[in-house]
């Protein structure tokens, strides 16, 4: 790995996913690493010539730090290590737009970036293009932005880079939506109300604090944007994406279109309002059942017809989206020229701190092997 034979790691965001990332790195029996910096939302800790962060006591040391967060200082530290011939990686476990906008600056000076943060890769196309251009100096990997620990992005890259042509990608991309509709519209049938199932999902931590942030479909739209930007046939000669400037360009069916502003902005208010929609969802479920189908919230990148959409759709009870899903599983089908008659399917847990962290750590190990 270079002169010091260590990977120097800066971890920003040490909540559920970030904590798991550090712990999985510590537990890795294969590669050595040094914590160059740790940062929470309030404080940070940096290694110096005289003091190295102890991986065993990292959390207590960070909590005791009185140093405010300064990501420019972290960048300078990592840049100096790059100049010394060391291999470094900046790991962003936040969902911050501000942090995402720093990626080009990190990459341009040879700092590698690994992240589960969707915003850099699904927002305005100028930022995305800036990241791609800056990656000539540093590498970026973001497997966990789409399927947590599932190999969705790497599978798509392998297909594209070996010359296969993508016809369509379709799947259940949201662990939250998967859990809700697996229970609400099951093959066996269910009479439980939609709001009751959402309430249970929220209580178990499957949703955001405000479930409106899941039911508006934006998370699925972001994931579709990330995948669509990896498909050559959706780019023009200038490297732009005529179909979608960002995730807001995705044709997205929101399940909370009639929600008042107070409900959209407050989780408790949203849950008070949601029962008003129970009759509507019950009617949709009944209609699907009468047709021998179930409801699933799916994302589709239809390259052939130049459509990218996130919607609530009906699928036959014999379809894999009906029969193969359990809990908060994701399932993604790749329809390509090579996989024409039988699509390539990737399925498994698509949410959770441990599997998301696994996707991050897997990307870190890929960087080491480059």
Quote the pLDDT of residue 107: 98
Quote the pLDDT of residue 293: 97
Do 143 and 162 belong together in one domain?
Answer: no
Do 77 and 130 belong together in one domain?
Answer: yes
Structural domain range at position 275:
152-350
Q: What percent of the chain has pLDDT over 90?
A: 79
Spatial separation of the C-alpha atoms in residues 175 and 196, rounded to whole Å = 18
186-240 pLDDT, tens digit each: 999 989 999 999 999 999 888 989 999 999 999 999 999 999 999 999 887 777 7
Quote the pLDDT of residue 3: 52
243-262 pLDDT, tens digit each: 778 899 999 999 998 899 99
305: buried, middle or exposed (CB in 10 Å: 19+, 13-18, 0-12)? exposed
301-356 pLDDT, tens digit each: 999 999 999 999 999 999 999 999 888 899 999 999 999 889 999 999 888 899 99
CATH code assigned at 295: 3.30.360.10
Q: Identify the bridge partners of residue 299 per DSSP, sorted by sequence position.
A: 171, 310
94 annotated as ligand-binding: yes
Spatial separation of the C-alpha atoms in residues 169 and 224, rounded to whole Å = 9
Do 157 and 285 belong together in one domain?
Answer: yes
Is 223 noted as a catalytic residue in this protein? Answer: yes
**Residue 1 belongs to a domain:** no
Contacts for 368 with CB less than 8 Å, ≥ 6 apart: 1, 7, 31, 87
Quote the pLDDT of residue 42: 92
Quote the pLDDT of residue 1: 47
**Residue 173 belongs to a domain:** yes
CATH code assigned at 49: 3.40.50.720
pLDDT band at 367 (very low <50, low <70, confident <90, very high): confident
15 annotated as ligand-binding: yes
pTM, whole model, 2 decimals? 0.93
Contacts for 99 with CB less than 8 Å, ≥ 6 apart: 12, 71, 92, 117
Q: Cα 98 to the chain's mean position, in Å?
A: 17
Do 225 and 166 belong together in one domain?
Answer: yes
Do 257 and 292 belong together in one domain?
Answer: yes
Out of 119, 223, 314, 317, the active site residue is 223
Mean pLDDT of 123-143: 94
125: buried, middle or exposed (CB in 10 Å: 19+, 13-18, 0-12)? middle
Do 122 and 168 belong together in one domain?
Answer: no
Q: Is the pLDDT of residue 125 over 70?
A: yes
**Residue 320 belongs to a domain:** yes
58-90 pLDDT, tens digit each: 999 999 999 999 999 999 999 999 999 999 999
17 annotated as ligand-binding: yes
Do 144 and 158 belong together in one domain?
Answer: no
Q: For the chain, what is the mean pLDDT?
A: 92
Do 303 and 171 belong together in one domain?
Answer: yes
Do 76 and 203 belong together in one domain?
Answer: no
The number of folded domains in the chain is: 2
Do 342 and 365 belong together in one domain?
Answer: no
Do 225 and 295 belong together in one domain?
Answer: yes
18 annotated as ligand-binding: yes
272 annotated as ligand-binding: no
27-64 pLDDT, tens digit each: 886 667 889 999 999 999 998 766 688 888 899 999 99
**Residue 2 belongs to a domain:** no
Quote the pLDDT of residue 4: 54
Tell me the pairing of strands 293-302 and 307-316.
Answer: antiparallel
């Amino acid at each position: 790995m270079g002169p010091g034979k260590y990977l120097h790691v800066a971890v920003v965001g040490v909540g559920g996913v970030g904590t798991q990332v550090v712990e999985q790195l510590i537990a890795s029996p294969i590669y050595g690493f040094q914590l160059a910096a740790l940062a929470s939302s309030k404080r940070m800790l940096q290694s110096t010539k005289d003091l190295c962060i102890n991986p065993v006591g990292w959390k207590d040391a960070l909590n005791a730090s009185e140093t405010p967060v300064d990501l420019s200082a972290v960048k300078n530290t990592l840049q100096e290590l790059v100049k010394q011939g060391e291999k470094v990686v900046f790991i962003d476990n936040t969902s911050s737009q501000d942090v995402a906008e720093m990626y080009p600056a990190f990459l341009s000076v040879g700092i590698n970036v690994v992240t589960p943060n969707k915003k850099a890769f699904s927002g305005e196309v100028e930022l995305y293009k800036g990241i791609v251009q800056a990656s000539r100096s540093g590498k970026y990997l973001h497997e966990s932005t789409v399927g947590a620990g599932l190999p969705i992005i790497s599978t798509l890259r392998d297909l594209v880079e070996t010359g296969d042509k993508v016809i369509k990608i379709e799947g259940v991309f949201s662990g939250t939506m998967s859990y809700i509709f697996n229970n609400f519209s099951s093959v066996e049938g269910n009479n439980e109300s939609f709001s009751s199932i959402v309430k249970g999902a929220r209580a178990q931590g499957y949703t955001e604090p405000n479930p409106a942030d899941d039911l508006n479909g934006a998370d699925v739209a972001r994931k579709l944007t990330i995948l669509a930007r990896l498909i050559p046939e959706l780019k023009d000669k200038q490297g732009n994406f005529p179909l979608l400037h960002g995730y807001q360009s995705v044709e997205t069916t929101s399940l909370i279109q009639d929600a008042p502003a107070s409900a959209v902005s407050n989780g408790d208010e949203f849950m008070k309002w949601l029962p008003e929609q129970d009759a509507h969802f019950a009617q949709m479920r009944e209609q699907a059942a009468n047709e021998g189908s179930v409801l699933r919230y799916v994302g589709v990148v239809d390259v052939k017809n130049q459509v990218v959409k996130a919607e609530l759709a009906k699928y036959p009870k014999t379809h894999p989206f009906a029969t193969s899903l359990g809990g908060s599983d994701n399932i993604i089908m790749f329809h390509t020229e090579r996989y024409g008659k039988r699509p390539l399917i990737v399925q498994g847990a698509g949410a959770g701190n441990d599997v998301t962290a696994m996707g991050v750590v897997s990307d870190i190990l890929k960087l080491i092997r480059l």
